[in-house]
Chain A
């Protein structure tokens, strides 16, 4: 691989250093391989449709004129609430993410494996903040079997009382937000941290009646965080009535629980009737606790209800089937393309097979690394994109080869045909790949969910195609043009006079059209 060759005067720039270009490509490949090992990215992350799992897309449900309620904060809060619920399933690699923009934001939950309906039930429920009067509170543990429950206060049914007695809030599984509580029911619930358990009266004030909430520090003492909250007009009335009624009652009936998703976030004692519409919650809060509570009050105050937009449940069996089908289609497609290249282009076909191999290994290593770096997951649609790209990649070689053959037909030597053909093919290849990239970018922007993977791999492999054509196919052809097998037009080189249909006498090499 000498580097001293310089092409005909027209083409000096592109032909000068085929060896160097190839060496750089080899370095890049080695660097990528090293990165793969250093990052220990040894397997491609597979999407749920290839390994089985459940994905649920949730859409905010909005009454007319409520579009302003879908804010970033509201969505983030919803994501964190749902993430807590999903994490309670204990399935590794579960993901909860927000997608889209504006009022069309969605929350996408994906949980691998066989969890099907549990996921769907768990995430589909609405989280709404409610203020409920505490009727009974007590230690978190279950009352020992056989012990008669304490006499229920007025209005609490014996059944509810029994449920309360049996409830064990020290168990983490009982502290999942179920969201199944009805605002009009008397409910039994745990403290969020499992510190105590409660029987709670029907909700009297709802989260959406809170207009503001913030954490603040006592200015005079400099310590002692508290939470300030302000109600809207209807909230002021309702909260005023509630506090006026309970403040004189005996503990724990003078406490009002702040309940989110069926769990008691906090149950402050009401010291006085609060009719002004602004209240303070004091206690021995740390800064973080105060801010958390304020956040719950603020965002829980946004009643973002969600609809199941789409639920997709794929069993691991189907996942494995789809993976096999995808791989089979890939190998079949690759095999056919290689076969056709070799049959039609013979010696040149070897170049195209080599280029495909380089492109394939680049793509594979990038899939591995992108899985580590940006969490790229390969889906069935992604595999399809990569297979389609085999054709697009091979097309670039054909455009180039046909150009070279045209130039040879015009009477050029192979050496100069490789260079002049390149100048003309290069433009076509760039324009064509650019069109593919536009397509991929737009598809990525407009596609939802799984099919996005198609656009991503299509775009990525088109980019790889450009790299391979520039850094491998062209330089290698420059090098091969110096080998007698190709330059003399050997019968198997794909450049023989017979292959090209050149009738020697009919094509005097000196005559050329401008």
Chain B
């Protein structure tokens, strides 16, 4: 632990530095592949929508030594047509999921299951969603998603510099895409709880970005007057300085979410807890990734295009090349560079050793 704390100090002073911005093409390529895979998965298999969205019924019977075959026989005996999915949850539960049923049909299935397993119909946990209700839920979920994105966009535009807002939004859209892609790829069920968890995590992913951007703003406030660092370098230092914080906040947020997922998926099998925490878990991971690897590099690129920042970058590079730099070239591919080279085009993350505090 203390060794790791020491790393925090080194990261803060820029002695140890990960070149997030210089290697941005690598992260972009990585994300690009993920987004492509998401798009393919989405178009090929689509999302597995829960019965809340498409309408349908689910009956869960709890009884020791229950078997799927018995449940299958009971449902088949009712002669109700349509696709049914019967699965075992944990050791003593069987869940029967059907398409949209009429009142009479759903009662018939309840009766059949109750008779087969010798229980009362009231002890069967039942969820019935009408098809029009499913449409309503879907509509609300989409409104929620778009409403959220618009409000967040407005808020960020007000709270941040416009370019920070753009970078943050790109990162959020990136997160949306990848999370949806993972759901399509793995085939997890999408329920209202998933959507809620997902929207929450969009908020959280922004929280991470807010923390990093705050530091970027602080580091870049005086760069034009001091001419010690380019915008990219200052931004990269900010990412490194907040790295421990980002890691800690994400981990701390992940611990409770992980326990919900563990309990929800492990003990309860299916339901609100699992759906919520799975979306949170996946979103948290992509959110942390994007605020470091996507949002800040994009911001740096956007700002570097400004004439003032290009002029700054010229001044910085002349200042640093005049005294013969004894920088060692790091091995290609090693993300951690203890001493970074100063190139004309590839803005590096840290000031020269002799100028460091």
Contacts and interface: CB of A to CB of B under 8 A. Distances in A.
A and B: partners? yes
Contact of A500 (B9, B132, B260): B9
Nearest to A116: B122
Contacts of A436: 203-204, 207
Contacts of B137: 448
A315 B61 CA distance: 10
Interface string B273-310: 10011001000000000000000000000000000000
A449 B9 CA distance: 48
Contacts of A182: none
A237 interface: no
Contact of B252 (A332, A394, A439): A394
B357 A333 contact: no
Contact of A446 (B132, B147, B210, B260): B147
Given A115-B122, A317-B123, A446-B143, A501 B276 contact: no
Contacts of B133: 57, 59, 307-310
Given A329-B262, A435-B155, A448-B140, A399 B12 contact: no
B125 A314 contact: yes
Contact of B259 (A115, A318, A387): A387
B200 interface: yes
Given A115-B122, A337-B256, A402-B244, A451 B196 contact: yes
A181 B210 CA distance: 62
Contacts of A443: 144, 148, 196, 199-200
Contacts of B124: 116, 313, 315
Contacts of B6: 498-501
Contacts of A410: 357
Interface in A282-313: 307-313
Interface in B104-163: 107, 110, 120-130, 132-133, 136-137, 140-141, 143-144, 147-148, 151-152, 155, 159
Nearest to B16: A501
B66 to A, nearest CB: 14
A307 B122 contact: no
Q: Which of B5, B121, B207, B280 has the most CB of A within 10 A?
A: B207
Contacts of B141: 446
B181 interface: no
Interface in B192-206: 192-193, 196, 199-200, 202-204, 206
Contacts of B143: 446
Given A388-B200, A439-B200, A310 B2 contact: no
A388 B280 contact: yes
Contacts of B262: 329, 332
Contacts of B257: 333, 387-388, 391
A396 to B, nearest CB: 9
A406 interface: yes
Interface in A65-118: 104, 114-117
- Report the contact-size class of chain A (Cβ under 8 Å from the partner): 35 or more
Nearest to A331: B259
B17 to A, nearest CB: 14
Contacts of B107: 117
Given A387-B256, A435-B155, A435-B210, A310 B267 contact: no
Interface string A386-398: 0110111011001
A424 interface: yes
Contact of A438 (B8, B127, B152, B267): B152
Given A312-B126, A337-B255, A391-B254, A399 B249 contact: yes
Contacts of B70: none
Contact of A321 (B1, B9, B130, B268): B268
Q: Which of A317, A381, A405 has the most CB of B within 10 A?
A: A381
A390 B256 contact: yes
Nearest to B222: A514
Interface in A412-468: 424, 427-428, 431-432, 434-436, 438-440, 442-443, 445-451, 454-455, 458
A507 interface: yes
Contacts of A511: 357
A104 B276 contact: no
B25 interface: no
A507 B357 contact: yes
A391 B8 contact: no
- Report the contact-size class of chain B (Cβ under 8 Å from the partner): 35 or more
Contacts, number: 267
B264 to A, nearest CB: 7
A340 B251 contact: yes
State the main secondary structure of chain B at its contact with A: helix
A7 interface: no
Contacts of A391: 252-257
Given A392-B204, A511-B357, A439 B249 contact: no
Contacts of A309: 129-130, 132-133, 136
A343 B121 CA distance: 51
A500 B214 CA distance: 21
A442 B207 contact: no
B5 A501 contact: yes
B7 interface: yes
B272 interface: yes
B103 interface: yes
B130 A310 contact: yes
A317 B200 contact: no
Contacts of B199: 439, 442-443
Contact of B260 (A104, A317, A384, A438): A384
B187 interface: no
Nearest to A49: B272
Given A328-B267, A381-B276, A499 B214 contact: no
A328 B263 contact: yes
B283 to A, nearest CB: 11
B150 to A, nearest CB: 10
Contacts of B144: 442-443, 445-447
B276 A446 contact: no
B272 A451 contact: yes
B9 A409 contact: yes
A438 B7 CA distance: 35
Interface string B225-259: 01000000000000001101100110111111111
Contacts of A310: 52, 127-130, 133
Contacts of A114: 120, 122-123
B245 A435 contact: no
Contact of B248 (A312, A344, A409): A344
Interface string A366-396: 0000000000000011001001101110110
A143 interface: no
A340 B9 CA distance: 19
A28 interface: no
Given A321-B268, A384-B272, A436-B207, A451 B192 contact: yes
B1 A344 contact: yes
A325 interface: yes
A363 to B, nearest CB: 14
Given A398-B248, A402-B245, A431-B210, A308 B103 contact: yes
A248 to B, nearest CB: 44
A380 B272 contact: yes
11 contacts: A309-B130, A311-B126, A315-B62, A322-B271, A325-B273, A329-B260, A438-B148, A442-B147, A443-B148, A447-B196, A514-B226
Across chains A and B, which 6 residue pairs bring their CB atoms closest together, nearest first?
A501-B9, A333-B256, A439-B203, A446-B144, A309-B133, A391-B253
Given A114-B120, A381-B272, 12 more contacts: A333-B255, A384-B276, A391-B255, A394-B252, A394-B253, A395-B252, A428-B214, A434-B155, A442-B199, A446-B141, A446-B144, A498-B6
